Amino acid sequence: MDLKPTGMLFLYAALWALLALKGAVAQDAIPHVDECALCFHCSVDATPAPVLDSDLVVENFQPKNVNQKQKLPMCQQCRGCTTHLQLLGHSGQKKLFHTWFRDEAGASPSWLFVAPTNKTAARKAVVKVACIPVGKHARDKHAVCHADTALKYARIYLAIEKIAEECGFTDIIPKIWVDWVHAVIPEVGYHIRWLGLWMEMVEGISLENLVRLGNPMMHPTDLLDILHNQVNHTQTVHAAIFDLLTSQNDRHAQNLFINGDGSIRLIDNERAFYENRLLAADSLLLPSTKKYTINVMENAWIHKFANWGDKVPQSWANVALLFDYRCYVQGGVLGKNWPPQVSQCLAHISSLDPPAVQRHYGLPAPHMAEALWNRSKAMQEHGFEYALTQGYPRNPNPWRYKLTPPCCRIKHTDTYRCAHEWQPDTAIPYGDPITGGPWRHARPDPGSYEGGSVF
């Protein structure tokens, strides 16, 4: 929020006192909103205390008393604000690749803000704050507070940050840290005074919006030129290594950003390290996973929707297939040809045991450390392709798809299609593609092989 001179603060205080004398009171329609409804701006900067590991406890990710209304007497506590927040939304526009796109803010039960920081080159950060007891819109009920979940994902993000630094992924992973938030929400007046997750603001636009949005819509020829010739394909290979190493299971086209210089960034990386004990990897960057295979053939076929009927599935070529690492490594096989820093990192993680891995990276659960340790050993000892198809952790069989041959050039005719000979097998595995469990529907299972048995 904009910085206001101290005199304005006294003006607000005087106005509030005058309203109080007339019997005016703050509205109670929204729970937990401060009485200090007019004090929207911070006026004093201070240096917050550094966050210690001992601060990473559930209590510090929520208001001190989440069940009672918090009050600020006569706005005086607003002077202690140290963070100037702006709401992160879709209102702005930016020009990228000569096409206009909206700024993006993903759907989240937490509040997202933009705040100044001296920890990034752009001096801006996106701040995610959980447990704010106010709805994002006046008509909305505020979300239930899950401070334990906020702590869990904060620890996962801090582990991601440490791996990025140690393994050489800082060019593709935004900087992430946990820090105190001490500020008033613009236009709401609620005073935040607990820990938030701070992330470097990523420039560019998601692959999803690059393909589907724009005013005017980007011409297919221009889009294909960007993806074939301008995207940094060395980073594409590194991104696939990162997603496999950290067991990313939510890498869809909205979580891969492309900047105007062709560089890429991976965002929303918290669904990692086998955290839900179900998905070992699911990424458009990793062949044999569902999010990759959806780009090969119809989504309705992959998900076995009931209205599919007797149609023969057609192989098409979503442009996301141009992020297949096999197109950019010699012979289409990565093997053990790791970048030097990745090789050193894999050797280090493999030399530890799971408890030591958990301590080193601060992972919130032992099974996450076991997943990272097992993945590192498989990658170091057997190479990328073995770790992807045979290593642990593994996806359930309904989510282990046949390896599709890479499509490294795409053309646009009636739709996007592979520009070279390309005949992927459209068979899909037995089982429920939604839950990852066995098929329990009354209609026949259109699957035809046991997932993972054909590698």
Q: What is the mean pLDDT of each run of 10 residues along the chain (455 residues)?
A: 38 36 33 40 51 92 64 41 56 41 46 86 89 71 84 97 98 95 76 90 91 82 96 98 97 95 95 95 97 93 89 87 98 97 98 98 98 98 98 96 96 93 94 96 95 92
Q: Where are the alpha helices (DSSP H) in 252-335?
A: 290-293, 299-302
Helix axes 147-167, 340-351, angle to 10 degrees: 120
Q: Helix (H) and strand (E) counts for the chain?
A: 11, 12
Q: Output the CA torsion 333→336→338→341 (10° steps).
A: 170
* DSSP letters spanning 136-170: SSTTSPPPPP-HHHHHHHHHHHHHHHHHHHHHT-T
pLDDT for 316:
85
pTM for the full predicted model: 0.84
Tokens of 21: 């004398």
pLDDT for 230:
96
Tokens of 357: 């891995």
- Identify which of 72, 15, 77 has the alpha carbon closest to the alpha carbon of residue 43: 77
- Identify which of 132, 150, 151, 129 has the alpha carbon closest to the alpha carbon of residue 141: 132
Helix axes 366-382, 340-351, angle to 10 degrees: 130
Tokens of 114: 């933009």
In whole angstroms, what is the distance from residue 429 CA to residue 447 CA? Answer: 5
Report helix, strand or coil for 86. strand
pLDDT for 349:
98
Peptide bond into 405 cis (omega under 30): no
In whole angstroms, what is the distance from residue 68 CA to residue 417 CA? Answer: 58
Q: How many CB atoms lie within 10 A of CB 131?
A: 24
